Amino acid sequence: MAKLRYAEALNQALREEMQRDPSVFLFGEDIARYGGVFKVTRGLMDEFGEGRVRDTPISEQTLAAMAVTAAMTGTRPILEIMYADFMPLVLDALINQASIYEYLWNDVSMPFVLRTQGGGGAGAGAQHSKSLDSLVAHIPGLKVVAPVTPADAKGLLKTAIRDSQPVIFLEHKLLYNLRDDVPDDPDFTVEIGKARTVCEGADISIFATSRMVLESHKAAELLAADGISAEVIDLRSLRPLDLSAIKTSIAKTHHAVVVNEGWRFCGYAAELSATIMDHAFDDLDGPVARVTLPDMPVPYSEPLEMAVLPNAAKIADAARATLR
């Protein structure tokens, strides 16, 4: 084990996979000479050269089409889209090419990873703070992961790079400096499609994604002070979803809160709530509560931004209301 920041864990995963497989290469805006806006790719161009770590023009739609083509021709591209807010520009390539090629041509694989970061809390304003999980999780044929710990960041990224299908790898800007133990093992991977139990509880299940896992854990501590035992599940994989972990937890607690930083209407939390109703309704003793961002842009003003983002207090309040 080594104590690494989340960004360092990602960097280590990229380096190890590039050393292991010469078909892996990176490209995106400012990722080579500058090392990435969040320094995830720092030092990789010096080690692997400009042929495998490439700076690109600002043209997300073109870059996504390049990733699809490169994957079809036998390489394993890793594309960085600097902010998740710009993901709508790549949807054509994802929806009409990447996600359906294996369906149309059974002898063609599509092994590429699209990394991007989103989320609020950094005062980045309405154009650089979105959580657009539901846009990509909606598309069959894509895998979507959102690790919250440095170890999961490394393990899931290595698994994504080795996968034969396109994987959307969602990061959060407030996680990059999170430091924790990371296995110092080039063979360490984390399976896509498996949730993680953060803490066990008996009264209510809290299912969360990305940075909201940390807020949910804080909410569990607030609830414990009231004598409420909350179980927190880090979904890790948004698609495919670990239905078994969800059903097992609800069968134990009989109550559920779902937490996602995206918008409420037609958001990922709405789909997760519906999934729980479809597969675990008989074990529920109360309605499923949702804690999300309101249906509005993220404010630039720090006090307003903090007021609208989901947080531990809002999650705990939702749990108490559901139990009542």
Instruction: Give me the phi and psi of 100, to 5 degrees please.
Output: -115, 0
Report how far Cα 269 is from the mean position of its chain's Cα atoms. 14
Query: The dihedral of CA 212, 161, 24, 186: what is its sign?
Result: positive
> Is 200 tagged catalytic?
no
Nearest to residue 249, comparing CAs of 203, 292, 294, 214? 203
**Catalytic hit among 17, 29, 128, 271:** 128
Which residues, other chains included, contact 318 with Cβ-Cβ below 8 Å and sequence gap of 6+? 257, 289, 290, 291
Q: Which amino acid is at 100?
A: I
* 160, containing H or E segment: helix 150-162
| Residue appearing with tokens 């499923």 | 288
DSSP for 32-79? SSS--TTSTTTTHHHHH-TTTEEE--S-HHHHHHHHHHHHHTT-EEEE
Number of residues in the chain: 324
Check: CB of residue 143 under 8 Å from CB of residue 163: yes
Task: Give the CA distances from residue 239 to residues 113, 146, 167, 200, in Å, rounded to whole numbers and listed in that order.
Answer: 14, 10, 10, 23
Query: What is the spatial distance between Cα 270 and Cα 173, in angstroms, rounded to a whole number?
Result: 24
Q: Are 29 and 82 in contact (CB under 8 A)?
A: yes
Catalytic residue among 16, 17, 60, 231, which? 60
Q: How far apart are the first and last CA of the chain?
A: 43
User: For residues 10-29, b (16+ Cβ closer than 10 Å) or e, as one string?
Assistant: bbbbbbbbbeeeeebbbbbb
Residue at 306: amino acid letter: M
305 as an active site residue: the answer is no
- Positions annotated as catalytic residues are 60, 128
